Amino acid sequence: MSGKTDTVPHRLLSLTEEELSRIILDIHDGPVQYLFTALSLLTRIQNDIADDPSKADLLPSLAQVAVLLESSLYEIKFFLGTFRPPEFRRRSLVSIIEGLVLQHEEWTGNTVELVVEDIPHDVALPVKIALYRILQEALSNAYRHAGVDRQWVRLWSDGAFICLEVVDRGRGFTPPPLDEATHEREAHIGLRGMRDRVALLNGEFHLASKPGEGTRIVVKVPAHV
């Protein structure tokens, strides 16, 4: 990385991801292992008494405990997956984006048409982080609000810049004025977050959407900051 990368805003981007990693690892090493073990032992007990008529009255309660444990794990699964940063340093931008698309498809059942064109391997760390989190937000918004099950993602380079486009043909919306502090709806916070991440890198953020006409987000950031 160049010396310029080591500015305070850029360090903050990496620091936030590193702090997230630590929180995620604590949850991974604690509650997930306990819950999975508890569920393994419970399953054994359920199997043990399944054929014993004298214990039949216990089965409904045990089944209820199993459902509660499984529900807890299910919720943790999405928390871990959403916030756990990929290995930004080890993986290329393309690999990180592919992993995110795979995850989105698996979790939502949606299809993402991904097109990648000539991306350099040595994209700066803050750029990888920003593009990853922006795409995550854009796909998540499309899934929650657009009402369609297909998105298009294109990643390409333009000179010294990396461009990312995310498109859906869903219900669309009237873009809010993001500069006004009065708009605090969840979706708007997400949009503002995307715009702010791009601004930190001195990039461009374009959002085009109309009711009934889908949504298109285009981001252009320098590959080396």
**Residue 95 interacts with other proteins (CB under 8 A): yes or no:** yes
Which part of the chain contacts other proteins (CB under 8 A), choosing from 87-95, 171-179, 202-210, 216-224? 87-95
Distance CA 38, CA 15 (A): 34
Decide if residue 204 touches other proteins (CB under 8 A).
no
**Contact call for residue 40 and other proteins (CB under 8 A):** yes
Sign of CA dihedral 9, 15, 17, 20: negative
Tell me the two tokens of residue 208.
């085009």
Other CB atoms within 10 Å distance of the CB of residue 61: 9
b (16+ CB within 10 A) / e for 189-212: ebbbebbebbebbebebebebeee
- Based on the shown chain and the rule CB under 8 A, indicate whether residue 33 belongs to the binding site for other proteins: yes
Q: Of the candidates 19, 48, 52, 113, which one interacts with other proteins according to CB under 8 A?
A: 48
Short-list 61, 69, 67, 68, CA closest to 33: 69
Among the listed ranges 86-94, 148-156, 166-174, 210-218, the one in contact with other proteins (CB under 8 A) is 86-94
73 binds other proteins (CB under 8 A): yes
Q: For residues 132 and 205, which CB has a smaller minimum distance to other proteins in the complex? A: 132
170: tokens are: 């869903």
The answer to whether 201 contacts other proteins (rule: CB under 8 A) is no
DSSP string, 162-185: EEEEEEE-S-------TT-TT---
Regarding 34 and contact with other proteins (CB under 8 A), the answer is: yes
Piece of the chain touching other proteins by CB under 8 A; list 10-18, 105-113, 173-181, 190-198: 105-113
Choice from 5, 14, 21, 39 touching other proteins (CB under 8 A): 39
Answer for the pair 128, 88: CB distance below 8 angstroms, yes or no. yes
10 binds other proteins, rule: CB under 8 A: no
| Tokens (6 digits) for 83 | 């916030």
Closest distance to other proteins from the beta carbon of 211 (Å): 30
Q: Does 32 bind other proteins (CB under 8 A)?
A: yes
44 interacts with other proteins by CB under 8 A: yes
Q: Does 103 bind other proteins (CB under 8 A)?
A: yes
Percent helix, percent strand, percent coil in the chain, to nearest 5: 60, 15, 25
Residues contributing to the site for other proteins (CB under 8 A): 28-29, 32-34, 36-41, 43-44, 47-48, 66, 70, 73-74, 76-77, 80-81, 84, 86-87, 91, 95-96, 98-106, 109
